[in-house]
Amino acid sequence: KFGVVGFIGLGNMGSRMVDNLIKAGYRVAVHDINYNVMKMFSERGVPTRSTPYEIAESSDVVITMLPSSSHVFDVYTGENGLLHRGNAVKPSLLIDCSTIDPQTSRKLSAIVSECTLKGEKGNWRNPVMLDAPVSGGVIAAEYGTLTFMVGGLEEAYLEARLLLLSMGKKTIYCGGAGNGSAAKICNNLAMAVGMLGVSEALALGQSLGINASTLTDVFNSSSARCWSSDTYNPVPGVMEGVPSSRNYEDGFSSILMAKDIDLAAASAKEVGLKFPMTVQAREIYLELCDNGHKAEDFSCVFRHYYGGSDA
Ligand code: NAD
């Protein structure tokens, strides 16, 4: 449906998402500030552009997958950004898949909706921005099994659905602008706190003489069952194929988790919500990072705090 899909941010996630777009038959143009990554794509015959503005000029839809709110804001509004040079833009749809705060998503969505569309393409008079962060991580990005949580105009969401499904297995419409970003940080907050609870309970069980595999079996057949117990268990040896069984490597890094909790804390503060669990979780994950575990999977909190490893 879309002519050219512009993609900005070819990191761990973005590079794999682009591969899946290409596999699905989309024509793409890509940009990243990292020269080596651009060279790699160019050598594979993928068209590259040297600025976000050039991406906007040559694309009908643009996807961004960048580290944080300030990067996304810059790529949209900065010098040679997507919206550079007046307010007429070519892409009818701009989709940000980065994990950022809902306030920035809403601000950008409002800026985009005030732009006009160059030419007659697209179904809306004005271009539309969707916030569509993902759940699933690098493996899901590679296998095209991401879940997209989407905020913005519903018509735009319906229009974008097939495109998103070429990189994922599920899309969930969360409501107006910023609601995708809100859903993402709430999901990750619950996951972060859940991981701490499961780790602490499994460590207590071990100290009381129950091994972690047996206790996990109990949890997973009882009311403590959750993602951290049945899919991503933090105790080495309890499950195969998870970061805890490969020395906490190749997972969702503690630094990204700390970033997401920061976003949740800032949002909770802004709306005046009490957030004691967020505060505690933030302290713990920041401490992990300060102690040299930034790059390790966030489930290494089990080893760091409780020391145990015997499943
Ligand atoms: P990454 O750091 O591997 O990749 C980010 C890419 O953006 C890099 O290639 C970098 O060079 C590029 N970049 C930075 N600033 C730029 C700019 N101004 N213009 C163009 N390119 C720029 O990060 P990632 O792991 O791919 O994560 C991307 C986003 O996805 C983050 O918001 C992250 O929180 C979210 N996310 C990550 C995971 C995961 O498991 N890695 C899972 C879910 C969501």
State the complex-level ipTM.
0.99
For a pocket test of ligand 1, which of 20, 66, 259 has the largest count of ligand atoms closer than 8 A to its C-beta?
A: 66
Per the annotation, the verdict on 184 as an active-site residue is yes
For residue 100, give the ligand 1 atom closest to its CA.
Answer: 32
Residues 6+ apart with CB under 8 A from 117: 88, 89, 90, 92, 124, 125, 126, 127
Check whether 74 has a pLDDT greater than 70.
yes
Interval 148-190: pLDDT, tens: 999 999 999 999 999 999 999 999 999 999 999 999 999 999 9
Residue 31 shares a structural domain with residue 170 = yes
Number of domains forming the structure of the chain: 2
pLDDT higher than 50, residue 310 = no
Domain assignment present for 150: yes
Q: Which residue is closest in CA terms to ligand 1's atom 42?
A: 137
Which of 117, 148, 176 represents a domain boundary (last residue)?
176
- What number of other Cβ atoms are within 10 A of residue 93's Cβ? 26
pLDDT, position 121: 54
Domain stops at, among 145, 176, 207 = 176
203 & 170 share domain: no
Residue span of the structural domain in which 214 resides: 183-306
CATH number of the domain residue 238 falls in = 1.10.1040.10
* pLDDT of the residue at 187: 96
| Ligand 1 binding pocket, CB closer than 6 Å | 8-14, 31-34, 37, 65-67, 71, 74-75, 98-99, 134, 137-138, 252, 256
Look at residue 116 and tell me whether its pLDDT is greater than 90. Answer: no
Q: 170 with 187, same domain? A: no
Report pLDDT digits (tens) over 119-156: 755 455 689 999 999 998 888 999 999 999 999 999 99
Closest by CA position to 147, among listed 174, 167, 175: 167
187 and 170 co-located in one domain: no
The overall average pLDDT reported for the chain is 94
Do residues 224 and 270 share a domain?
A: yes
**41 C-alpha to ligand 1 centroid (Å):** 16
Nearest CA to ligand 1 atom 7: 9
Burial zone of 274 (CB within 10 Å; 0-12 exposed, 13-18 middle, 19+ buried): exposed
- Does position 94 have pLDDT exceeding 60, yes or no? yes
Q: Whose CA is nearest to atom 16 of ligand 1?
A: 33
**Which of residues 176, 194, 218 is at a domain's end?**
176
pLDDT of residue 125: 66
CB contact at 8 A, 168 and 193: no
Averaged pLDDT, 180-209 = 97
Catalytic: which of 23, 184, 274, 294? 184
Q: Are residues 246 and 140 in the same domain?
A: no
